Amino acid sequence: MARPQTSHQPGRVFTPGMRHAILGLVLVGLTLTAYAPVRQHPFIHIDDYGYVVNNVHIQQLNWDTVKWSFTSFHYANWDPLTWLSHALDCYFFGLDPGQHHEISLLLHALNALLLFWLLLQATGYAGRSFAAAALFALHPCNVEAVAWVAERKTVLSMVFFLLTLIAYRWYARRPAVSRYLVVAILFALGLMSKPQIITLPCVLLLWDYWPLGRMFASRGADLAGETPGHVLAGRSLSWLLLEKLPLLALSAGSAFLTMKAQWVNRTLGGLNTYSFPVRLSSVIVSYVRYVGHAFWPVRLSFFYPHARNTAPAGQLAAALLLLLLITWLALASRNRRYFAVGWLWFLGTLVPMIGLIQLGNGEAMTDRFGYVPFVGLFIAVCWGVADWAGRWRFSEVWLPAGTMAILLLLMFATRRQLSYWSDDLTLWTHSAEVVSNNAMAENMIGETLAQRGDRESALAHFQAAASMDPLFPFPHLHIGIYEEEHHQPREAIEQLQKVIDLTQSAADHMPAIRNEAFVHMSFAYNQIGDYANQEKYLALAAQERQPQ
């Protein structure tokens, strides 16, 4: 992580450009090696089948596919480029899961390379840029985004996120309308891949602060210690804010389309919408948990259930105090601007996914949401450690050696985390083991076993899920169906009635589960000879199937 070499020195075998190219090749090689087993993985039933395997709209590549991609709100999102990406995979590879995984892996490796190039060009530091990009490439929290085919949207949107930042420096060096249009187009392409990058205009403002130094160069501020030789011409804050308005308009349009997609698919205001105090409490605690996962990535899970009540007062106060303390330290470090940029990058880019608006399946947090935000933490850490080592005059050998040791440990952790994605049962079993009271994981284990024909074992997991979270309707549905099919009609009616009661307030958002509950309720009443109720629930099922 030494300071950059700005010119060729006599006696050196490699020029700086050659050394940078070698570091880039090493970075890609480490990434592909760490993720090599993903080529042998199947599709995961949750979302992979809905996104790809059973999605007839992308099984062929023609004008209808393009039209559907840009007009569909399938899976409650507007991600046209992601759908086209999946369609291209199907066109070239069919439904071979290994090759779908390979494309996601190549995109992740490309993201690592782009991040290295972005940081190198913006700051001039090769070692620090390589370390930050390698942490991104090899961090086990990113396994979910790479190993889950349905999350192609995450890795694809990151490509355009990084390209936009690279193009923004190109624009800032010599502002012109044509260059700004390139920035805007790349940003729009990213939003059409996944709206998670909606906060990019704010990241660009941070980038103006550091490393570009556009906020300070006009006042003669000296950033040479942080970005040697890379300070650009300064602009006033008002100009920099106005400059971002067209990009903010793109963000607003993406937000509107996302909310419309959620509304059309009836996922807003559904079963998993919690009160604002509960959501706010979860946000504060989750921010700290994300930081913990970034620095100590153990016991990672595919699903982290959302608490139905606010966190204990002591835990909430401690989490809030820690966040405020780090924020104060970041803002107070005027001579270490990378600290503020890295921390605010993390806080800001996580806002769309942090849960203030509950759009998911009841998760408090999820590993894939750290794919973009963790980059900010990696920047702060790599620059901070290098500066600390420089002040204490550490040997030039120790820092690279320590960096490689950490990267090797991360490679091992990533390989291990990747192994849990080898099939559905392994994935959900691991989630149940590392997160206590994980009703979703227990329910999904039951569904996976039921699909494999092991109904008796599945029942035990459905019962465990119902016990962990009595307000979760799906295990009650599965238990009710099991009881009805095994000619226990009264037990079935009891379970199915719970499903109907639990989904009543979200009836408009959960037609499928209610329809299934009504159908099997009618079957159960038939078994006890109550034909009036049989007809009643058959009619309710038919009503539930009617378009709203």
Interatomic CA distance for residues 438 and 428, integer angstroms: 10
**Per-residue confidence (pLDDT) for residue 10, from 0 to 100:** 47
Which residue among 390, 406, 422 closes a domain?
422
**Per-residue confidence (pLDDT) for residue 260, from 0 to 100:** 87
* Same-domain check for residues 397 and 496: no
> What does R_g of the chain's alpha carbons equal in angstroms?
26
Structural domain count, the chain? 2
Both structure tokens of 176: 């012109």
pLDDT of 269 over the 80 cut: no
Phi-psi region of 303 (alpha: psi -120 to 50; beta: other; left: phi over 0): beta
* Same-domain check for residues 153 and 243: yes
**Per-residue confidence (pLDDT) for residue 295, from 0 to 100:** 97
pLDDT band for 5, please (50, 70, 90 cuts): very low
Interatomic CA distance for residues 396 and 120, integer angstroms: 19
**Per-residue confidence (pLDDT) for residue 362, from 0 to 100:** 72
Is the residue at 458 inside a domain? no
User: Helix or strand or coil: residue 305?
Assistant: strand
Is the residue at 284 inside a domain? yes
* Same-domain check for residues 389 and 487: no
Helix, strand, coil: what percent of the chain each, to 5?
A: 70, 0, 25
CB distance 207 to 171 below 8 Å = no
Closest Cα to residue 211, out of 376, 349, 332, 347? 376
| pLDDT tens by residue, 65-78 | 999 999 999 888 89
**Per-residue confidence (pLDDT) for residue 185, from 0 to 100:** 98
What CATH number is given to the structural domain containing 477? 1.25.40.10
| pLDDT tens by residue, 418-467 | 999 999 999 999 999 999 999 999 999 999 999 999 999 999 999 999 99
pLDDT of 286 over the 90 cut: yes
User: Helix or strand or coil: residue 363?
Assistant: strand
| pLDDT tens by residue, 87-107 | 999 999 999 999 999 999 999
* Same-domain check for residues 263 and 398: yes
pLDDT of 40 over the 70 cut: yes
* Same-domain check for residues 484 and 382: no
Does residue 77 or residue 145 have the better pLDDT?
A: 145
Is the residue at 456 inside a domain? no
Is the residue at 287 inside a domain? yes
**Per-residue confidence (pLDDT) for residue 11, from 0 to 100:** 47
CB distance 223 to 216 below 8 Å = yes
| pLDDT tens by residue, 488-542 | 999 999 999 999 999 887 656 677 899 999 999 999 999 999 999 999 999 998 8
In Å, what is the CA distance from 54 to each residue of 46, 72, 77, 266, 354? 12, 16, 17, 21, 30
Q: What is the mean pLDDT of the chain?
A: 91
Is the residue at 82 inside a domain? yes
* Same-domain check for residues 377 and 494: no
**Per-residue confidence (pLDDT) for residue 217, from 0 to 100:** 53
* Same-domain check for residues 411 and 353: yes
* Same-domain check for residues 411 and 479: no
* Same-domain check for residues 483 and 417: no
Please enumerate in sequence order all residues whose Cβ is within 8 A of that of 86, keeping only pairs 6 or more positions apart, or say none: 51, 52, 55, 58, 100, 152
pLDDT of 155 over the 80 cut: yes
Instruction: Tell me the DSSP string of 461-513.
Output: HHHHHHHH-TT-HHHHHHHHHHHHHTT-HHHHHHHHHHHHHHTGGGGGG-HHH
- CB count in 10 Å sphere of residue 456: 10
**Per-residue confidence (pLDDT) for residue 235, from 0 to 100:** 87
* Same-domain check for residues 123 and 269: yes
Segments forming the whole domain that contains residue 538: 472-548
Which residue among 380, 395, 422 closes a domain?
422
- Residue pointed to by tokens 């106060």: 317
Is the residue at 430 inside a domain? no
- CB count in 10 Å sphere of residue 396: 12
| pLDDT tens by residue, 332-360 | 988 899 999 999 999 999 999 998 876 65
Cα pseudo-dihedral 256, 260, 266, 271, rounded to 10: 0
pLDDT band for 274, please (50, 70, 90 cuts): confident
**Per-residue confidence (pLDDT) for residue 221, from 0 to 100:** 45
Which residue among 389, 422, 455 closes a domain?
422
Is the residue at 107 inside a domain? yes
Is the residue at 6 inside a domain? no
* Same-domain check for residues 397 and 533: no
Cα pseudo-dihedral 37, 41, 44, 45, rounded to 10: -170
Alpha-helical segments (H) within 57-176: 63-71, 80-93, 97-123, 126-138, 143-147, 152-173
| pLDDT tens by residue, 355-389 | 887 665 678 999 999 999 999 999 999 999 999 98
Please enumerate in sequence order all residues whose Cβ is within 8 A of that of 442, keeping only pairs 6 or more positions apart, or say none: 432, 461, 462, 464, 465, 468, 475
* Same-domain check for residues 339 and 258: yes
Instruction: Check whether the bond before 80 is cis (ω within 30° of 0).
Output: no
